[in-house]
Amino acid sequence: MDGSIGTPVVRRDALAKVTGVAHYAADFPHANTAYAALTLSKVARGRITRLDTASAEAVEGVQMVLTHRSLNEDLGEETFVMKGGHMQSSFLPLTSDEIHYAGQIVSLIIADTQEAAEQAARLVEIDYASETANAALDAPGRKLDPMDESTIEVGDAEAAFAAAPVKIDATYYTPAQHHNPIELYAASVAWVDGKLHVNLPSQWVMGTRAGLAKVFDIPVDDVVVESPYVGGAFGGKASILPHVVLVAMAARRLGRPVKLVVSREAMFTVGSFRPAAESRVRLAATKDGKLTAVMHDEIGQSAAIDHVSFMGMEATSKMYASPNILMHGATVATDVNTPGFMRAPAEAPSFFGFESAMDELAEQLGIDPIELRIMNEPERDPVSGLPWSSRSLVPCFRRGAEIFGWNRRSPEPCSMIASDGALVGYGCATATYPSAMAPSSARVRIAADGSCHVFCAAHDVGTGAYTVLGQVAADVLGIEDSEIRVEMGHSRHPSGPVSGGSITTGSAGSAVHKAALAVRERLFATVAGDQDRTGMTIADRHVVLPDGSRRAIRDILAGLPGGVIEEQADWKPDDMDEKTMRHGLSGGMAFAGPVGSSHVSFSFGAQFAEVRIDPLLRTIKVARMVGVFACGRIINPRTARSNLIGGMIWGASSALLEETQVDRPRARFANTDLASYHIAANADIGEVVCEMLDEDDPVVNAIGAKAVGEVGIVGMPAAIANAIYHATGKRIRRTPIRIEDIL
Ligand code: MOS
């Protein structure tokens, strides 16, 4: 059937999106809506000493000016997402006169029009007593806060390193970055009869519902969270941003719906960001290239108001076989808004360093960088000793090398010159991403009128989930995916997981699979009656009996009361207990894996880059990127490819362009718009080739689908840095890599 698992179905939401039919959060019209605007702190640390809202209140149409003086509501207990709650930060603005970071919300204005709200926001007069602050990870005199719980230790790495004949010891730096989804943060909030209705772009409607119910101390059933379409999220929309709570408070107090669309500039501080990170990588090897010690010390930027860390060592410790492994993490508190998830939060920064170091080691050994990785391929996870659920890294490298034409590479740096004089460099790197899983429910309903519905409170954050979940059901039910309507992004649906950590397809997909199987079983049972139903199959809208005779599904349904079969299923990862499942299904964070009791599950990829560098101007062009990935069973090669090449392109953007610059004296982000926060445009990106290897993973989950969404970004920055080294002989250990670095 068209549209079953493995076919490259075109996204089912594409037409709605390109025709404007798709409603994003800010598009939802609540009658009599009032509009909100924000005033942000100009200083990074200190206290408000004077606050005058008279001019703001005098603007025609202004309904309310909320500040720490006027906002004094009792709120229920709710915590930071990294402590088991749902809030993006444990700090809620407008709760005191203290300033913890530049760009902190210091006033929320509500007015009849957007224009009045914005005008008033500019007229709020504030004086500050400001203190010295720091927003940079690498400021002199920094204090390291060690995270002993992140230590990973196998064997005696220090001793092995000291004794090794070949070693690398280098430190790599990646800056703060911001997600910059094209859809701005927004919240449209209405209280109707004491019930809270929230439209916002969300990666986690169930978590948002649970969290808001706690904040406002109302039953979860009195909270509705709606987010059918999301215009880019990347981790930034996976928890409740503080402004959502503030807008909801304002709407309740005003007795009127309120809508806030956060400006691009404010996005940099009212949400989260990818914190700056530093990786010291030490690798030791025998002369013939066997790793004897792998060491990785990571230092991450954290916030004074919240301890946050995204350490990549869980992944880097599993990359290569070594009898000795030692990894440590530490953080540095800075005066910034709470950092958060951003595509491959732990892996993307740390793999830049780790995979650059592998390239440096290969160079020193005089061994081809791909061969070095292959000769250190671990049969099992070198940390836990458990087998992989599947690991096809070596086939990825072999196939990638073939597509890329790696054999045309001459190993010496600066040895390949194009006919136009450009310096040519080839580089490669490993990518990986954990395949964790979360519990999920789903409901599947088929009816005699030919309709088929799938309901799940998961999300399509632009990734293709609407399409992919339909394909999973289509496959089980023997109907075309175009006949299935998938409904997601609404808290009224059966519980779905946070769409983060690349878990949606594997987790929500497994729930849809289970519910569809239950529907199919009931179809079989209806046909069989008292008879044995073994040997029945389903195909082309018919139940097929062992003797080859067929019964149309519609006819079977027409004979049932109501003409409908509907089944809801709760799915959990094998390793998860019932209690944790219940916690997850009620909107709590509940993950299993990537290290289970019997296996370790990661997606893998081999990534390649060709750079061309102008010999005089030193401009860097990524002429080609190749990625070959093994992510278990690919439900839809078209949408999977889009995720993977999106990651590769972002990786190139990260390697060469992206940096949230810190105005150090003022401790604030300096380039808070899309004119000065550079991201890759079409002209920056050359050829992009992506292939997915078939991989049968029978243990990872019910449908064998591993993580796809994030792995594509992970190896790209190192592959590009390695290619730049190959082209120029210059090893740049800091991104973004700029012209001035390779002059
Ligand atoms: Mo993604 S950073 O796990 O939402």
Residues 588, 591, 597, 598: what is their CA dihedral angle, to the nearest 10 degrees? 140
The Cβ-side half-sphere exposure at 509, using a 13 Å CA radius, reads: 32
Q: Read off the pLDDT band of 179 (50, 70, 90).
A: very high
CB-ligand 1 contact for 388 (6 Å cutoff): no
Task: Find the helix or strand (DSSP H, E) in which 637 lies.
Answer: helix 637-656
CA of 430 to the centre of ligand 1 (A): 20
**Ligand 1 atom nearest 342 alpha carbon:** 2
CA distance 683 to 687: 11
* 85: three-class secondary structure by DSSP: coil
Q: Read off the pLDDT band of 580 (50, 70, 90).
A: very high
Report pLDDT digits (tens) over 386-415: 999 999 999 999 999 999 999 999 999 999
Is pLDDT above 90 for 674?
yes
The residues near 37 (Cβ < 8 Å, ≥ 6 apart) are 108, 109, 111, 114, 117, 118, 120, 121, 260
What letter would DSSP give residue 653? H
CA distance 25 to 29: 9
Query: Which of 273, 710, 713 has the most ligand 1 atoms within 8 A of CB, as the residue to mutate?
Result: 710
Work out the mean pLDDT of the chain and round it to a whole number: 97
- The structure tokens listed for 703 are 């449908």
CB-ligand 1 contact for 343 (6 Å cutoff): yes
Cα distances (angstroms) measured from residue 178 to each of 24, 361, 659: 21, 32, 8
CA distance 397 to 376: 13
Is pLDDT above 80 for 2?
no
End-to-end CA distance of the chain: 57
CA of 502 to the centre of ligand 1 (A): 7
Q: What is the mean pLDDT of residues 30-43?
A: 97
Percent residues over pLDDT 90 in the chain: 97
CA of 127 to the centre of ligand 1 (A): 38
CA distance 258 to 36: 7
pLDDT at 702: 92
pTM: 0.97
Contact call for residues 599 and 699 (beta carbons, < 8 A)? yes
CA distance 472 to 465: 10
CB-ligand 1 contact for 500 (6 Å cutoff): yes
CA distance 25 to 88: 19
Is pLDDT above 70 for 208?
yes
- The structure tokens listed for 710 are 């994030």
pLDDT at 1: 63
**DSSP assignment of 193-206, as one string?**
TTEEEEE---S-HH
Is pLDDT above 80 for 3?
no
The residues near 399 (Cβ < 8 Å, ≥ 6 apart) are 606, 628, 691, 693
Of the candidates 601, 627, 607, 605, which has an alpha carbon nearest to the alpha carbon of residue 705? 601
Cα distances (angstroms) measured from residue 682 to each of 178, 623, 679, 687: 19, 12, 10, 10
Domains observed in the chain: 25-132+180-265 (3.90.1170.50), 277-337+348-435+596-742 (3.30.365.10), 439-572 (3.30.365.10)
Q: What is the mean pLDDT of residues 126-135?
A: 98
Task: Find the helix or strand (DSSP H, E) in which 397 lies.
Answer: helix 393-404
CA of 512 to the centre of ligand 1 (A): 22
- The structure tokens listed for 417 are 């010159």
Residues 241, 243, 244, 247: what is their CA dihedral angle, to the nearest 10 degrees? 180
CA of 165 to the centre of ligand 1 (A): 40
CB-ligand 1 contact for 235 (6 Å cutoff): yes
Which segments of 119-256 are extended strands (E)? 125-130, 145-154, 166-174, 186-192, 195-199, 223-226
- The structure tokens listed for 581 are 């499942």
CB-ligand 1 contact for 459 (6 Å cutoff): no
Of the candidates 86, 493, 66, which has an alpha carbon nearest to the alpha carbon of residue 258? 66
Assign 3-class secondary structure to 504-558.
Answer: HHHHHHHHHHHHHHHHHHHHHHHHHCCCCCCCCEEECCEEECCCCCEEEHHHHHH
Report pLDDT digits (tens) over 264-317: 999 999 999 999 999 999 999 999 999 999 999 999 999 999 999 999 999 999
CA 90 from centre of chain: 21
Q: Read off the pLDDT band of 649 (50, 70, 90).
A: very high
CB-ligand 1 contact for 107 (6 Å cutoff): no
**Ligand 1 atom nearest 344 alpha carbon:** 2
Contact call for residues 41 and 124 (beta carbons, < 8 A)? no
Hey, what amino acid is at 224? V
Length of the chain: 743
CA distance 337 to 47: 16
ipTM score of complex = 0.97
CA 226 from centre of chain: 20
Q: Read off the pLDDT band of 442 (50, 70, 90).
A: very high
Percent residues over pLDDT 70 in the chain: 100
Report pLDDT digits (tens) over 92-118: 999 999 999 999 999 999 999 999 999
Is pLDDT above 70 for 357?
yes
CA of 36 to the centre of ligand 1 (A): 28
Q: What is the mean pLDDT of residues 454-462?
A: 97
pLDDT at 29: 81
Q: 237-257: buried (b, 16+ CB within 10 Å) or exposed (e) per residue?
A: bbbbbbbbbbbbbbbbbeebb
Is pLDDT above 70 for 553?
yes
Work out whether the CA dihedral 149, 154, 158, 164 comes out positive or negative: negative
CB-ligand 1 contact for 340 (6 Å cutoff): no
What letter would DSSP give residue 146? E
**DSSP assignment of 401-435, as one string?**
HHHHTGGG--SSTT--B-TTS-EEEEEEEEEEEE-
CA distance 431 to 350: 11
616 — phi, psi (to 5°)? -100, -50
Q: Read off the pLDDT band of 77 (50, 70, 90).
A: confident
CA of 203 to the centre of ligand 1 (A): 9
